[in-house]
Structure 1
Amino acid sequence: MFDYVIKAQYIVYCSFLAIDNLIHNKEKNKLYEYQKRRR
């Protein structure tokens, strides 16, 4: 049971990181496109 809880928390944490990363990358890409257009 305890092992299962740890695995569940690990999966939630990993998916949270993945989602956070996706959002961050989108923002970075927007910034990059904006800077490219300004030049």
Structure 2
Amino acid sequence: MPHRVFVQKQREKLLAKQALYDFELERAHHRRKKKQSLPSA
């Protein structure tokens, strides 16, 4: 596999991970805002 392709795949993987992280962060923020009385545990 060409190095260029490898780099591209690594970048895509990184971006996907970042997007997923942002999504989880956003979801957690909304959940916290919605239910303040609910214990986190």
For Structure 1 versus Structure 2, the TM-score category normalised by the shorter chain is 0.7 to 0.9
Shift in Å, 1:37: 1.4
Query: What is the count of residue pairs matched by the alignment?
Result: 38
Q: Structure 2 stretches of 5 or more lacking a match?
A: none
Q: Distance in 1 between matches of 2:12 and 2:5?
A: 10
Residue 37 of structure 1 aligns to which amino acid in structure 2?
Answer: Q
Match of 2:24 in 1: 25
Task: Provide the TM-score with structure 2 as the length reference.
Answer: 0.77
Shift in Å, 1:12: 0.3
Q: Structure 1 stretches of 5 or more lacking a match?
A: none
Which contiguous aligned blocks of 4+ residues in structure 1 show a shift greater than 3 angstroms? none
Kindly report the root-mean-square deviation, in angstroms, between the aligned alpha carbons of the 2 structures: 1.8
